[in-house]
Amino acid sequence: MVETLFFDLDNTLLDFNRAERAAIAKTLESFHIAPEPSVLKRYSELNLAQWKLLEQGKITRDQVKLRRFRLLFAELNVDVPAKEAAHTYETLHGQYRMYLVTNGTLSVQKGRLKSSGISRYFEDIFISEELGYNKPGREYFDCCFSRIPDFHKETAVIIGDSLTSDIQGG
């Protein structure tokens, strides 16, 4: 059984448009709604509009998470609870111990993480320059693994875009 997930940052997590399309497609499919390109595009538009309202202080983060689905489902004329869809959309968070692994430059990666707002989803972030070892070196992953309480390699998965620097390293 998988308990721990490691995510590479560059070209894995930071392709937000692709990640959004995949997540919303899976969410819609779980409610038997076909993820047609026009529906995915409309969700993206509605989602962006809600985040703009948040930036303007007109709605809260919790409202963003529900309104984007309420509006979409109203337009599609489907009866799906927005709260259920929001929960499905965010299923990974809280069900797995999630960590971030990256070879990027410390200052650049810290800036990307800050601007993306995704740090809060990870229990720890392992930046090679900060650890003193480069990914995919054994020392890099041994250092990461040693910082994780009750870590078992056989229950971990590394998700990345490179077989040589992400997958084989772990």
Find out whether 82 and 73 touch, Cβ atoms under 8 Å.
yes
Length of the chain, please? Answer: 170
Find out whether 113 and 107 touch, Cβ atoms under 8 Å.
no
Could you tell me the two tokens for 24? 């919303």
Catalytic residues: 8
Q: Tell me the CA distances in angstroms from 53 to 57, 81, 84, 128, one per residue in order.
A: 6, 22, 22, 37
Helix axes 16-30, 37-55, angle to 10 degrees: 110
